[in-house]
Structure 1
């Protein structure tokens, strides 16, 4: 049903997705859709979680395949961050916007940030003289910087390549390692 729901969002936007519409297009009864997701918000949260899980797994896989080189790791993390919306498609922002203000969505986004901070922390720890708490705070700060850079990219003020290069440089510099 999630594949069908994603198709509906892609074609009609998040506003076009209801449990009734999903049931009709998935060829199931409305009670099945309601039993499975409970509410429209539950369906949207399930879609959002699916996208986030896919992104986190792709990042973990990419990091596992990356040589133990700080700059290579920084490049992978930066590219993953900025390619996230491209890789996940236009559905992700539509789903997020539809859940704006939802406590459940805020909790899910917080968990995603925590996951990303944990991934960054683990990947950067071998290269950093910072203690665990200081490195964690540094990773949180890096994500804030990435959001600001992403806004610049979204507004057309910088290219995707410049955004990725800047974030990669920030990641590497945050460890105290020399520049390339």
Structure 2
């Protein structure tokens, strides 16, 4: 009888499921975003992430050596999703300036709004160190280069100036954050950003 009870107790004991490394990384990223959403960026530490994900600290440290590494990973994950969304939308878009501009605007705003209020906190944290700021700068440069290639055929002499691209990116971020904060609607943000892009490409090129 006692042997049977021990056997039953062993069978009922919860088993910790081992995930493949990529699956564990995905889980940790998802839990980290959830933590930022619920408790704010300041609450995001590697120890807190381990606790929330139900894993030991060494598991988290194996994926993100430092808190800065975790913040950088969150931003790159968001940027990868945004890039993929834009690429798919561009493939299906009208090959006109208005069509391209609207796709860029819709994709950018939709991705930021879908991520929610946690994104501004992560972006703000990126400014806390040169290492993190470099990650953001690299992602921004890649985005601007993508937009330059897509919009150049519609610009004077086939060139889009860096100053205009930088202004476009600033407008995209500001309008998207305003939509996330419900200061304006997502549709207003998309329309305004689309017009900004069209105006930027249509005017004579200034600078490099």
TM-score normalised by the chain length of structure 1:
0.81
CA displacement at 1:152 relative to structure 2: 7.1
Matched, 1:61 2:84: no
Question: 1:130–1:175: 8 Å Cα contact kept in structure 2?
Answer: no
Q: Which moved more, 1:114-123 or 1:76-85?
A: 76-85
5+ residue gaps, structure 2, are: 1-27, 204-208
Taking only aligned residues, the RMSD between alpha carbons, in angstroms, comes to: 2.5
Q: Deviation per CA, 1:78-129: give whole Å up to 9, x if none.
A: 2233334212222211222333321122111111211111111111122223
Task: Write the mapping of 1:23-102 to structure 2, written as runs, cut at 5 A.
Answer: 23-102=50-129
How many correspondences in the alignment?
175
1:113 and 1:94 mapped to 2: Cα distance?
A: 17
Match of 2:166 in 1: 140
TM-score (norm 2): 0.72
Is 1:117 the counterpart of 2:117 in the alignment?
no
After superposition, give the CA deviation of every residue in 1:45-81 in whole Å (9 maximum; x if it has no partner): 1111111111121112111111212111111112233
Q: Structure 1 unaligned runs (5+)?
A: none
1:168 equivalent to 2:194? Answer: yes
Bigger Rg, which one: 2
Q: For the structure 1 residues 40 and 149, does the alpha-carbon distance in structure 2 shift closer, same or farther, using more than 3 Å as the test? A: closer
> Who is 2:43 aligned against?
16
**Change beyond 3 A, Cα 1:176–1:151:** same
Q: From the superposition, tell whether residues 29 and 113 of structure 1 become closer, same or farther in structure 2 (CA, over 3 Å).
A: same
Query: Residues 146 and 18 (structure 1 numbering): CA distance in 2 closer, same or farther, change over 3 Å?
Result: closer
Q: Which has the higher mean CA deviation after the structures are superposed, 56-65 or 139-148?
A: 139-148
Q: Separation in 2 of the partners of 1:176 and 1:95?
A: 34
